[in-house]
Amino acid sequence: MSSKYISKIAYAAVVCLFLLTASSAVADDSKISPDLLPLLSNPTNTVNVVVQYNTAPPQQPQTCSGGGGLLGIVGGLLCTVINILNSVVFGLINAVAGTMHAGDVITLSNQSDVNYISLDRPLNASLDYTTEAADVPIAWNSGLNGAGVGIAVIDSGIYSHPDLRNAWGQSRVVYRKSFVSGGVQFDDYGHGTHVAGILAGNGRSSSMPGSSHILKGIAPNANLLDLRVLDKNGASTDSAVIAAIQQAVQLKSKYNVRVINLSLGRPIYESCNRDPLCRAVEAAWANGIVVVTAAGNLGRNGYATILSPANSPHAITVGCMKTLSTYPRTDDLIASYSSKGPTYIDLTAKPDLVAPGNLVVSLLAPGSTLAAQYPANLVMPAYYTTSTNAGPAQYFRLSGTSMATPVVSATAALMLQKDPSLSPDTVKARLMKTATKSFPAYSSTTDPVTGTIYTSTYDIFTVGAGYLDTYAALSSKDVAQKSAASPSFLYNSSTQLASLMMSTNVVWGSNVVWGSNVVWGSTVLLNGTNVVWGSNVVWGSNVVWGSNVVWGSNVVWGSTSAYGEN
């Protein structure tokens, strides 16, 4: 729906009919869109419509006198006041959009001042607000949808959801294997199915007469490989994840696996050079596969809360933004729970960028643990359609860096569909360089239960190189001739400043194209390379470096945020 409107009002259309007209219950088909007509069989059905007038629509509600209620006699005419709920007036096209009863649509179609009535169709199909915030619809309009690209989903499994089938009804989950004891092939946790929907859901279950939202993933024609490593409680082991990564590498040629999505993690216990998870990630990267990882949901504990394998310098590590349930990007803020860098032990600059991931509507795995634990997160059909025959809930709402990660993974798939020759380093470098770098200095949120206020500073350890911009990344022509490994930091206790360590083997800072100010933006750097923060903020003794306060014993691999809108 266009944002160029004159005003939002509680709108009432006044319909005047001759008293003796008996044809008022018959629609004027010439004024009603073909996809709206089938929804008018039951006059009590509610439909979302756009009513276009021949002249400017009335700007104020009107009433009729006489007869009582909503009916009255005016100059020999029977006047009916039709209430249009949730209305928006579009003066630009002389129209009103809103919700009304089907019978009222029929009545309106017989009015001489009404030009045309149509379903209020979404201009660009989107997965709630997530795709709009990442500028994805522009890519769709260019014909990019992930077709032919394989994405390995290393998670809790993928439910056989209708939204993951192609136009012929065949599943786009082209391979399945479980690395969990017991060998269950379905998703009994619910996390992996949700991730899969963000990656490649095509919106089939929400595409029906009366739909107001088409709940579509970022790369709706991509193929998925279901490599199950999380059990019904969201727990796993290093060995299971490593085995799954290895399997993805082995299947690269057969299924054109170009991206691995890792919306999971665990605490860091050693340098990434020794961490087996990091090494597996880097092996996949060396084999030409882009690996995208979740930063973690521990940001409320402060800095140095990045998980493994997100601490891999090669992996694309993703933090979480919240869209505030609006389409424009300009009001989006960092989620308070999004884990912050630098990484424990190696002091690597992470996350690499941030993407929308808060309150994301995606696919539901019926009967799963998450569905049972959070029944309020079920998205009922009334959210996306006025149809009364939509069936049971097919969608679910979750928050976390786990949800932001597949947004970036799917964007990488679009990039590789457009240009299959791209290396993982070029994909990462383009994503980071083109990310939006305009942020407020800080933002705060209050926990509704505890009343605790959490303040986030928009620095390199919070937002990385910026906010994902899919269209800008797809438009980039820059090529990374060297590694795009994330740089590390060296802290100078005398000056209380930290400096980016730029190796000659990496692309960052090597020229004008990949200079640090270009990639990370001048707002997070001081004098080009020195970071603004003092020792008490990031580097001081108050920072929790891998202690039980941060990691605890209850951290699970596929955890999602419990902080809701915060």
Q: Are 150 and 409 in contact (CB under 8 A)?
A: no
> Distance (Å, rounded) from C-alpha 310 to C-alpha 293?
5
Write down the catalytic residue from 191, 194, 213, 314. Answer: 191
Q: Say whether 161 is catalytic.
A: no
101 catalytic? Reply is no
Show the tokens assigned to 39: 């929804």
Residue 369 tokens, joined: 């643990």
Give the closest residue to 96 by CA, choosing from 165, 59, 50, 27: 50
Secondary structure element (H or E) that encloses residue 226, with its range: strand 223-228
Q: How far apart are CA 250 and CA 519, in angstroms?
A: 33
* 277-to-79, 308, 316, 390 alpha-carbon distances in Å: 72, 7, 14, 43
Q: Which of 104, 128, 135, 155 is catalytic?
A: 155
Active-site annotation holder among 399, 402, 486, 561: 402
Helices and strands, counts by H and E, the chain: 13, 23
Nearest-angstrom CA–CA distance, 105 and 98: 11
Q: Which residue has the tokens 């992470």?
A: 350
Residues 6+ apart with CB under 8 A from 335: 299, 319, 320, 321, 322, 357, 358, 399, 561, 563, 566
* Partners of 156 in beta bridges: none
Chain-centre distance for alpha carbon 528: 32
Which among 392, 372, 365 is positioned nearest to 185, based on CA atoms? 365
Amino acid occupying residue 134: A
Please give the torsion angle defined by the CA atoms of residues 430, 431, 434 and 439, in that order, rounded to the nearest 10 degrees.
-150
H helix intervals, 16-165: 102-109, 130-133, 136-141
Enter the tokens of residue 13.
């259309």
Rounded Cα distance, 334 and 356, in Å: 9
Mark whether 35 is an active-site residue.
Answer: no
- Under 8 Å CB-to-CB from 344, ≥6 apart: which residues? 268, 304, 306, 311, 545, 546
- CA–CA distance, 150 with 224 (Å, rounded to integer): 6
Question: How far is 204 from 387, CA to CA, in rounded Å?
Answer: 14
Rounded CA separation 428/485 (Å)? 9
Count of Cβ atoms closer than 10 Å to residue 382 Cβ? 13
Cis preceding linkage at 406, omega within 30: no
Report the catalytic residues: 155, 191, 402
